[in-house]
Structure 1
Amino acid sequence: MPIEERLGSFIKRAEQALQGAKNATLKHEGVTVPQYAALYVLSENPGISAAELARRCGVTPPTMNTILNNMRDRGLIERTPHAWHRNVLETSLTDEGRRVMYAADARAVKVERALADEFTDAERKSLMDMLARATTLLDSVRPEG
C-alpha cells in the first residue's frame, strides 16, 4: 500500500504537528504536553489515582509516575496517602500547580482554537465524527494481549 494512501500516516503527521505546536506554546509555562494533560485532568479530578490519571492521559503507569515525580519536584502537585487505602496515593494540584495549569491552558486553547477555526462548523463536526469512527474501528481490531 503506497504511503500516500495510508490514512495512519496523515493522522500521525497531524498528531505530531498538534503536539509540536502545543509543546512550543507550553514551553513558556515550563511544562510538556503530557504534564499539561495531567495538570488539566487533576484540576477536574482532585485526588485521582496515578493509574486512573495515566489512563485518562493516554500514557503508561510508569510514564505517569515519572511525570508526577517531576511535577512534585517542581511543587505543582502533592501526593498524600488515601484515607482508607494507605498504599494508594491521592494526587492534587498545589496553588502553584493551579496557576501553571490555568496559564498553560490559556496557551493550549489558542492552539486548539486556531485548529478549529481552520474548518467550518460542518467540517469540524464531520472530522470529529470520522476520527471517532476511526478510533472505534482501530480499538476493535487491536489484537488482545
Structure 2
Amino acid sequence: MPATERLGFHLKRAEQALNATKHAALKPAGLTVAQYAALLSLSESPGISAAALARACGVTPPTMNTVLKNLQERGLIERTPHEWHKNILETRLTEEGEAVMADADARAIRVERALADEFSEPEREALVALLGRCVDLLESVRPA
C-alpha cells in the first residue's frame, strides 16, 4: 500500500505541519512546542505533578523532566513539595511564566485560528468528529 493511501501518513503530515508552524510562531516567545504545551497545561492545572503533566502533554516522563528543568532554569515555573506527599513536586507558573505563557498562547492561538478559518463550521465539526473516531478506534485496538 503506497504511503499516500495510508491515513496515518496524512495524519502525521498534518501533525508535523502544525508543530512546525507552532514552533515558528513560538520562537519569538523563546519557547519550544513542548515547553508551550507544558505551560498551557500548568496554566489550566496548577500544582499538577510532572508525571501527570507528561501524560497531559503526550510525552515521556524523562522528556517532561527535561522540559521542566529548562523552564525552571528560566524562572518560568516553580516546583515545591506537595503538602502531604513530600516525594511529589507540585509545579506552578511563576509571574514571569504567566507573562511568557500569555504571549506564547496568543501566538499559538493565531495558528489555531488560521487553521480553523480554513474550514466552514460544519467542516470543523466533521473534522473534530472524524479525528475523535480515529482516536477511539486506535485506542481500542492498541496492542497490550
TM category, shorter: over 0.9
| Structure 1: tracts of 5 or more residues without a match | none
Equivalent position of 2:71 in the other structure: 71
Q: Cα deviations across residues 43-67 of structure 1 (Å, max 9, x unaligned)?
A: 1111110111111111111110000
Tell me how far apart the structure 2 counterparts of residues 57 and 5 of structure 1 sit (CA, whole Å). 29
Equivalent position of 2:107 in the other structure: 107
- Superposition pairs for residues 1-145 of structure 1, below 5 Å? 1-144=1-144
| CA RMSD, Structure 1 to Structure 2 (Å) | 0.6
Q: Could you tell me how far 1:97 is from its partner in structure 2?
A: 0.3
Q: Could you tell me how far 1:142 is from its partner in structure 2?
A: 1.0
Q: Could you tell me how far 1:99 is from its partner in structure 2?
A: 0.3
Q: Cα deviations across residues 12-52 of structure 1 (Å, max 9, x unaligned)?
A: 00000000000000000000111001101101111110111
Tell me how far apart the structure 2 counterparts of residues 22 and 54 of structure 1 sit (CA, whole Å). 19
SS of residue matched to 1:139:
helix
Q: Cα deviations across residues 89-132 of structure 1 (Å, max 9, x unaligned)?
A: 00000001000000000000000000000000001100110000
Q: TM-score, normalised by structure 2?
A: 0.99
SS of residue matched to 1:15:
helix
Q: Could you tell me how far 1:141 is from its partner in structure 2?
A: 1.1
* Identity across the alignment (%): 66
Tell me how far apart the structure 2 counterparts of residues 35 and 3 of structure 1 sit (CA, whole Å). 31
Q: Could you tell me how far 1:143 is from its partner in structure 2?
A: 0.6
| Structure 2: tracts of 5 or more residues without a match | none
Q: Could you tell me how far 1:2 is from its partner in structure 2?
A: 1.5
